[in-house]
Structure 1
């Protein structure tokens, strides 16, 4: 199930019996791209293998997803809504991701969490 997280602009996925999460399956991801995704997801998430069913072909396969590490996190706050996220948070997440990618390309050491916290601190000061 996908949850909103209080104080975060991205969702958490947790395994919940008899629920499913709709998403996209990216094929042909290289090891270096997967490593980059691991860095983007940072320490809050753990890459896990899940069984998926493709809607368009009904084909079943295994894929990686990023599961929220702390299943007892008190900040988990109800079901996440994609349309609300798109309207309220998508632009901020794109900005944070752009800065993070520039940090990686420049061989910097800031984590995605560091950049995210800095971004929102600056935004609050404006």
Structure 2
């Protein structure tokens, strides 16, 4: 059982549980030393190392082993799983896995900050139809 820090579409509990096939407890968290940016033509973001930056997100606690293969497949080749230390709202820290955008795909990132609230308003329905309600869970999907 290990924790997973999410910062994009997987912050939505319904999407996360559809992808992982499991429901997990979750708490708000943030990750220092990274930034999240929009991916060109997509509703989801990519996260890359960035000094002096911080990414807000959701920490899913104690994911079952069966969730990780599903997450790896869903994230696809654009992302690599990396272990990080996240900060909880009460100041405590936890070690977790997260998915970082691979440097080889950096040209797909758009300048600026990806906004979760905008995703909820304008991108979630399209994202869900494209990657969650389709066969994408069996193949490669995005973060």
Q: Point out 4+ residue stretches in structure 1 off by more than 3 angstroms.
A: none
- What's the counterpart of residue 119 of structure 2? 85
Residue 64 (structure 1) aligned with residue 97 (structure 2): yes
- What's the counterpart of residue 106 of structure 2? 73
Partners of 1:68 and 1:13 lie apart in 2 by 5
What whole-Å deviation, never above 9, does each CA across 1:9-44 have from its counterpart, x for those lacking one? 100011101111110111110111011111110111
Partners of 1:15 and 1:63 lie apart in 2 by 16
TM-score, with length taken from structure 2: 0.67
Q: How many residues align?
A: 106
- What's the counterpart of residue 18 of structure 2? none
The structure, 1 or 2, with the larger RCO (C-alpha pairs under 8 Å, 6+ apart) is: 2
Partners of 2:135 and 2:53 lie apart in 1 by 32
Q: Structure 1, unaligned stretches of length 5 or more?
A: 105-109, 114-126
Partners of 2:135 and 2:60 lie apart in 1 by 21
Partners of 2:119 and 2:104 lie apart in 1 by 21
Residue 100 (structure 1) aligned with residue 135 (structure 2): yes
More strand by share: 2
2:140 to 111, 117, 120: 111
CA RMSD of aligned residues (A): 1.8
Q: SS in structure 2 opposite 1:62?
A: strand
Deviation at 1:70, TM superposition (A): 2.4
Q: Structure 2, unaligned stretches of length 5 or more?
A: 1-34
Deviation at 1:71, TM superposition (A): 6.2
TM-score, with length taken from structure 1: 0.75
Rg larger in structure: 1
More helix by share: 1
1:23 to 50, 53, 57: 57
